[in-house]
Structure 1
Amino acid sequence: MPSHNYMEKLLEGVDVEWKKLKDFASFSQGIQVDISSQFLGKKDGFVRFLRIVDFVNDNEPPRYIENPGQRYIKNEGELVMIRYGARAAGKVFICNNGAIANNMFKITLKSEKITNKYLYTYLSQSKIYKSLNSKGGASTMPAITFGQIGAVEIPIPPLKVQEEIVRILDTFTELTTELTTELTNRKKQYTYYRDKLLTFNDDEVEWKTLGEVTIPTKNIKWSEINSYHKYIDLSSVCRETNSILEVTEINSENAPSRAKKLVLKDDVIFATTRPTQQRLCLISDNFAGDVASTGYCVLRANKEFVLPKWIFYFITTSDFKNYVEENQSGSAYPAISDSKVKEFKIPIPSLVAQEKIVSILDKFDTLTTSISEGLPKEIELRKKQYEYYRDLLLSFPKVESV
């Protein structure tokens, strides 16, 4: 593993020049395209804020731009930065051929003394992102200017040092990629066995709707309460881990109008807005007695008939996802009603049989989604390791720009 001593030896006898980004790079903003355009999406190479990950390594050029000029990414490995967005402004990506939206701009190098990959590595540091993001203002859509990004100072060591830094960090990236590939394969395996374990013939078990095996829930009455509660918004639930990651504290004075649904331990919540995204989770002790958005359907198991996790695992199945797709309505913001969710039928074997199957699925779930165990934990550790060594390798002595 690299160390400070290693970096000292690597930099021995060489000069590191500090320059403002504007002194060796130019910036060009993306294009404005009607959001209803049939060309939006990965297939035609158009990058949208929510689809940037789909675009990476997609070499298919857009067919709809007649005069792209400098707004068209022509070379492999071009550097792109997001200009505005509460959590996005200042984020950088390396993209291949395609077009960028007007909330992004590309950074084109004008000097042969620095490489795209090295510049990307430096700009992707959290301290750089946070600094730029904070300059965008306090609005819901903070925006950074070319002047602000151009003023960022970049240390420029010799090319051989840049290449060595990139090489070292690429080894961490490769390890993470291997683990991520393995996790993807395990998730596919898990999905197959989960659906297999939860498949029953009609004559094997009794079938009931979710409405028949759940009990009514209540809304909070803010007029009668002056205490603080955690608020589980639609963005609070992580789709990858089926867990609650970020919440805010609210009371009767600042509670959003959608903050109404009281949740208890072992409740299953499912987001009915954009339901095919499958934002769902099982409420833990940490959030028992707190408040969820009305954008969630709260499923509270009647434990005489069904285990909470039996419901949880069933709404992660392909059958439920297909049911949601068939019964949602709306185009811009598709949604499904709570009542329609509760019309979905699930098999109800004995509680003993449910416990056996749930026990097996819990083990699979731990391997594929747990952030404290299994591959997700290993991947998270590798990412932190990458960030640690990236920051270490890029800790150059500061010299004033010329």
Structure 2
Amino acid sequence: MIQSNFMEKLLDGVEVEWKPLGKVLVRTKGTKITAGQMKEIHKDNAPLKIFAGGKTIAFVNFEDIPEKDVNREPSIIVKSRGVIEFEYYDKPFSHKNEMWSYHSKNENINIKFVYYFLKINEEYFQNIGSRMQMPQISTPDTDKFLIPIPPLKVQEEIVRILDTFTELTAELTAELTARKKQYTYYRDKLLSFKEGEVEWKELGAIAEYSKTRIGSANLDESNYVGVDNLLQDRAGKSTSNYVPTEGNSTKFLPNDILIGNIRPYLKKIWHSNCIGGTNGDVLVIHPISEKINSKFLFQVLADDRFFDYNMQHSKGAKMPRGNKDKIMKYPIPIPSLAEQERIVSILDKFDALTSSITEGLPREIELRQKQYEYYRNMLLSFPKQEV
């Protein structure tokens, strides 16, 4: 009811016309260039952006490609192969010639409004593309696609609202990126010790792999941790979608450290706060020395230097696994317990801002994204014309 009333007020009784995309926008071609050529002519900070599929881009000088292939209009770029999606860009650009783009010469069409409408329909185009061996769509797929044409002032108001949400999310994401860089800088600095400054021991001298088991009756989605619900980039864990119903699992205790042992470069690691169970794809490291603070050990093992070491000694090419013997030989610095606690207290503050899924910036970004999606869906729901 709220959605209906809002849209009725915004439209103020005006009927929304639907037209084929190709009839209201100008479609433009790209430039003949390969990914290899893009890499060769790329120059950092050059003014002209060239798009290829997915996230592949290059920045080049204007003289690097024909002038006729340069698009200077705010446009919607159609990524038509592989990952099918739409991107809005309002600076000079070009793209590979198997892609295409649209811009508006119609004073009654706000190109950013059309972009937002296409974004909520990406799944429709992805479903069309999935019929091919290599997912792809063709120009008729977008040219014939019907889009709503509300009054220009309505388009502009919708764009203003949605831009506000995207700008806020972008600011929060930039802040999170900065915090992560700051966190990494301080962790590297705090965990770097000069030769002779502290005692060093192999991991196996201060910790061991869990030797105990736990029955399935004691497990649920909150305390069963598989490699699938360990989150990448040190982000902890999520609720498990799978819990074993019979047999025993490897038991972990509070303050144990769980590390995903498949594809170590994903940096899956979690400091346990409960009793639970896991499987053979997750290593459970149990501290056994009174000289080590478990949170300090977690920070050492969450450092890039450990994951680089783990990858260096991993086994297998397609699906590398950590070498359990080599992991236990990883050198661990052992400063005084007071110094370990000081380091942990500093890094815990950064961790709350960057890695927590219930507080800090990631939670804020998640809430803003949900809010944006709600308003986007509401604002772009127009009644279809009866045929």
Unaligned runs of 5+ in 2: 212-223
Equivalent of 2:285 in 289, 300, 305: 300
Equivalent of 1:114 in 109, 122, 142: 109
Matched residue, 1:92: 86
Matched residue, 1:366: 352
Q: Which amino acid aligns with 2:267?
A: R
Deviation at 1:395, TM superposition (A): 1.6
> Does the CA contact (< 8 Å) of 1:194 and 1:317 recur in 2?
yes
1:254-333 alignment runs, 5 A limit: 266-269=256-259, 275=265, 279-282=267-270, 289-291=277-279, 298=283, 300-304=285-289, 306=292, 309-317=295-303
Change (3 A) 1:172 1:290: same
SS in 2 for 1:398: coil
Matched, 1:156 2:149: yes
Matched residue, 1:208: 201
Change (3 A) 1:249 1:162: same
Please give the TM-score of this superposition, normalised by the length of structure 2.
Answer: 0.71
Deviation at 1:393, TM superposition (A): 1.4
For the pair shown, the structure with the greater C-alpha radius of gyration is 2
**Partner Cα separation in structure 1 for residue 275 and residue 124 of structure 2:** 32
SS in 1 for 2:169: helix
**Partner Cα separation in structure 2 for residue 177 and residue 140 of structure 1:** 35
Deviation at 1:149, TM superposition (A): 3.1
> Does the CA contact (< 8 Å) of 1:40 and 1:46 recur in 2?
no
1:69-218 alignment runs, 5 A limit: 72=69, 74-75=71-72, 77-85=74-82, 88-89=83-84, 91-95=85-89, 96-101=91-96, 105-109=99-103, 111-112=105-106, 113-125=108-120, 128-137=121-130, 141-210=134-203, 212-215=205-208
Change (3 A) 1:270 1:35: farther
Comparing 261-270 with 365-374, greater Cα deviation is found at 261-270
Deviation at 1:172, TM superposition (A): 1.8
Q: How many residues align?
A: 361
Matched residue, 1:33: 34
Q: Which amino acid aligns with 2:270?
A: L
Deviation at 1:152, TM superposition (A): 2.7
Q: Which amino acid aligns with 1:22?
A: G
> Does the CA contact (< 8 Å) of 1:61 and 1:98 recur in 2?
no
**Partner Cα separation in structure 1 for residue 196 and residue 180 of structure 2:** 30
> Does the CA contact (< 8 Å) of 2:74 and 2:103 recur in 1?
no
**Partner Cα separation in structure 2 for residue 391 and residue 35 of structure 1:** 39
**Partner Cα separation in structure 2 for residue 140 and residue 208 of structure 1:** 53
**Partner Cα separation in structure 2 for residue 356 and residue 184 of structure 1:** 24
Unaligned runs of 5+ in 1: 219-228, 252-260
Change (3 A) 1:68 1:291: farther
SS in 1 for 2:55: helix
Change (3 A) 1:352 1:29: same
Deviation at 1:388, TM superposition (A): 1.2
Q: CA RMSD in A?
A: 4.7
Matched, 1:381 2:385: no
Matched, 1:242 2:235: yes
SS in 2 for 1:107: strand
Deviation per residue, 1:293-335 (Å, 9 max, x gap): 6xx8x4724433645543442244465578789x699xx9998
> Does the CA contact (< 8 Å) of 1:263 and 1:290 recur in 2?
yes
Deviation at 1:244, TM superposition (A): 4.9
> Does the CA contact (< 8 Å) of 1:306 and 1:351 recur in 2?
yes
Q: Which amino acid aligns with 2:268?
A: L
Matched, 1:51 2:45: no
Please give the TM-score of this superposition, normalised by the length of structure 1.
Answer: 0.69
How high is the sequence identity, in percent, across the aligned residues?
37
Deviation at 1:132, TM superposition (A): 2.1
